[in-house]
Amino acid sequence: MKKHTFTFMGTGAGCGVPAFFCECPACEEARRDPRARRGDCGVMVTGTQSGHRTLIDTPPDIRQYLLREGVRAIDDLLFTHWHYDHVGGLGELEYMMQLVTHEPIPTFASPFTLKSIGREFEYMMYCLACMEWLPFEELELDGVRYTPLPVTHAPGTYGFLLETEETRLFYACDTGALPPETAERVRGVDVLAMDATYWGKNGFPQSHHSVQECIEEGLALDAGKVFLTHLCMHYSTPITLVELEEYCKQFDGRVAPAADGLSFEI
């Protein structure tokens, strides 16, 4: 019996889907169909027996995610990096600590990310028990081994290799082509959930994948299942969820768009 659940809290790029300012086909689809809506990226790992919850990133929409999932408190906090769409909801956790847990939240991130968070959220630092986490330094939380692996994005950005007794999963919500050492560490994972920001032309190949590039790299790494996340859907060419799902059918179930609230056991 698998003992943990992995949940996509949000699966969109920075402006979400629909974006309030956008009338492209993808945003219009999402206005009509809740299934196509996406908030900013984040995930949660929950112990199915222990109830232990590890949150990866605090996007601006985090309060709504936690309400949706029925979460009253979290136990650990990991950060991939320090950009607004991954840390902007941190203030939502302040009163949880004050009124419920009464203990600073164990928080793990790269030195660069912790420094950046401390600068932007100085008033919140009393709520966090911050621990610098170096690349390739293994950390075990509630029976899951997490290893931060460098990716090609902003300074100090990590992807996380998660390993349980039965599953190896790599989560890299913001990255271009993986550095060679990272790629070798994740080769053959059961699940790869990776940046697939753009459809068609990649506007920032040094720091993001297109859908096509994500799939190509994921299959080359022999990942059992590839989930497309950090989906913008607006750029470079807008694509609807219906169109993206149809495109993915050619991969015989190995590739699928992630979805907000999607959970599976690991």
For the segment 161-185, what is each residue's pLDDT rounded down to a tens digit? 999 999 999 999 999 999 999 999 9
CATH 3.40.120.10 assigned to domain 4-265? The reply is no
Tens of pLDDT, residues 224-249: 999 999 999 988 899 999 999 999 99
Instruction: Give φ, ψ of 216 to 5 degrees.
Output: -60, -45
Question: What radius of gyration do the chain's Cα atoms show?
Answer: 17
Model pLDDT for residues 128-137, shown as the tens digit of each residue: 999 999 999 9
| Alpha-carbon gap, residue 106 to 163, rounded angstroms | 20
Q: Encoding tokens for residue 185?
A: 């560490």
Element housing 105 (H / E): strand 105-109
3-state secondary structure of 68: helix
Backbone angles phi, psi at 94, to 5 degrees: -60, -45
Can you give the pLDDT at residue 203? Answer: 85
State residue 27's pLDDT score: 97
